[in-house]
Amino acid sequence: MELYAEQGFEQTTVAEIAERAGLTERTFFRHFTDKREVLFYGTEMMQHLLVEAVASAPASATAMDVVGTAFEAAGAMLQENPERVRVRDAIVSANPELRERELIKLAALGAAVAGALRERGIPEPAASLAAETGVAVFKVAFARWISEPGQPDLPAILRESMGKLKDVVTDRLVAAPQR
């Protein structure tokens, strides 16, 4: 991460990463298929966390409440190292290839949550709608958290954002008059 931040993703080589980490290139490739994987390490852990949160939610919880709770758990995980998350986000945001990869990752997380909702008995298309809505709320809340560094509580921002979504869906928000 330090090298990517210092000299840019494109300019950083695997050899430099390995040297900075005190490894050989061969050891690097035992853990990562390429230098992009360093930025996406932990995706499987995040997916597992989301699926487990969905599976362990109370049976009486609504699909959207389950999804909100799951993404709050993901937010809590990211909040454990906010500086690393912010540096990673800046690196990913600066590179179109990495932004595309990030979207693919989010789609995979959404699919995993939808699958976990189906396991709970939520039928299609409701499971996919709830999961994809959760991803959208997560993206909006994450962007707010990243852009406002004084905001330490990502799960609270996610909760607030989910509440705003409920307001939108139930027509509790009224648009300001156009001038």
Q: What is the pLDDT of residues 5-29, one digit of tens each?
A: 999 999 999 999 999 999 999 999 9
Say whether both 8 and 92 belong to one domain.
no
Domain count, the chain: 2
Q: Which domain holds residue 6?
A: 1-37
The one-letter amino acid code at 62 reads T
> What's 26's domain CATH number?
1.10.10.60
Report the greatest alpha carbon distance in the chain.
63
Peptide bond into 155 cis (omega under 30): no
Give the relative orientation of helices 96-119 and 82-93 as an angle to the nearest 10 degrees: 120
- The label of the residue with tokens 């980490």 reads 21
Helix or strand run (H / E) with residue 43:
helix 43-55
pTM above 0.75, yes or no: yes
Q: Is the predicted pLDDT of residue 172 greater than 70, yes or no?
A: no
In a domain, 154, yes or no: yes
pLDDT per residue over 110-127, tens digit each? 999 999 999 999 999 999
